């Protein structure tokens, strides 16, 4: 039994990308007078860049003409992107808090069992802190942020996943070795970050990540399962 569980947020605790983050980005772009629209398919590709600001910067680089006169000059772009992202965070919070976001199967059960067994809990997410809190409070419970000893989010470290920095940070805060912890993630970038920090990872896949390379994971499951609706084991043995 691990001493601590470290959870990713987006795609792991709840499905937040397609109808949450993606919609908030598009609302922000429209409000800023930009003709950008991130379709479900394009968003799947853009998800390879974790972090909202990083994703916008990547989109500008790869999909927009370099000398577009409607865009600010290169030197002003980091601040412009940060402002867009701040607006997106606001809108995402509204979408999540007004909606009826459900946790993924088995998430609440595992967290509750861990809490009653005295297993410590932490969060390691690329998303901004207000967004992570909105998901915890809406999908889990209003007091859920207090269940987690560490909530490491967004810019708390300089380099986002797949860099291991966020996991190093969580381990340092918990004062635990990687061997004492288990990570639950949904994406290859998250798995790469955790693995590089020496952590063992359980993957629950979703529509955006199911085709990714999870060979470094200890277990790959469709989800965490419920007693009435068991998960599908994609790789690994639950006896391990």
**By the rule CB under 6 A, 10 interacts with ligand XBP:** yes
Using CB under 5 A, pick the residue from 4, 5, 6, 11 that binds Mg ion: 11
Q: The dihedral of CA 55, 56, 58, 62: what is its sign?
A: positive
**By the rule CB under 6 A, 125 interacts with ligand XBP:** yes
Residues 142-181 that bind ligand XBP (CB under 6 A): 154, 161
Known catalytic residues are 8, 10
Using CB under 5 A, pick the residue from 89, 187, 192, 212 that binds Mg ion: 187
Whichever of 108 and 203 has its CB closer to Mg ion, that residue is 203
**8, 190 in Cβ contact below 8 A?**
yes
Q: 170: how many CB neighbours lie within 10 A of its CB?
A: 26
Segment near Mg ion (CB under 5 A); pick from 10-18, 139-147, 174-182, 212-220: 10-18
CB of 239 to ligand XBP, least distance (A): 28
- Angle between the N-to-C axes of helices 22-31 and 77-98, in degrees from 0 to 180, rounded to the nearest 10: 120
**By the rule CB under 5 A, 51 interacts with Mg ion:** no
Residues 84-123 that bind ligand XBP (CB under 6 A): 88-89
- Interface residues with Mg ion (CB under 5 A) are 8, 10-11, 186-187
């Amino acid at each position: 039994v691990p001493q601590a569980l470290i959870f990713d947020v987006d795609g792991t605790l709840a499905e937040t990308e397609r109808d949450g983050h993606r919609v908030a980005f598009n609302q922000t772009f429209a409000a800023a007078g930009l003709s950008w629209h991130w379709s479900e398919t394009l968003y799947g590709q853009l998800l390879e860049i974790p972090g909202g600001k990083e994703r916008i910067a990547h989109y500008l680089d790869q999909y927009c003409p370099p000398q577009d006169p409607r865009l600010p000059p290169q030197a002003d772009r980091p601040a412009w992107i940060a402002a867009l992202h701040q607006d997106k965070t606001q809108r995402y919070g509204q979408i999540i808090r007004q909606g009826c976001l459900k946790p993924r199967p088995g998430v609440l059960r595992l967290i509750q069992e861990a809490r009653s067994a005295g297993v410590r809990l932490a969060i390691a997410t690329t998303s901004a802190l207000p967004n992570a809190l909105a998901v915890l409070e809406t999908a889990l419970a209003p007091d859920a942020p207090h269940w987690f000893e560490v909530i490491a989010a967004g810019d708390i470290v300089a380099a986002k996943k797949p860099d291991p920095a966020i996991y190093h940070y969580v381990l340092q805060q918990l004062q635990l070795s990687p061997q004492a912890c288990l990570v639950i993630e949904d994406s290859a970038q998250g798995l790469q970050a955790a693995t590089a920090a020496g952590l063992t990872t359980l993957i629950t896949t979703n529509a955006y990540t199911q085709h990714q390379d999870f060979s470094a994971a200890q277990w790959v499951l469709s989800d965490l399962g419920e007693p009435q609706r068991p998960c599908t084991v994609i790789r690994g043995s639950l006896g391990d």
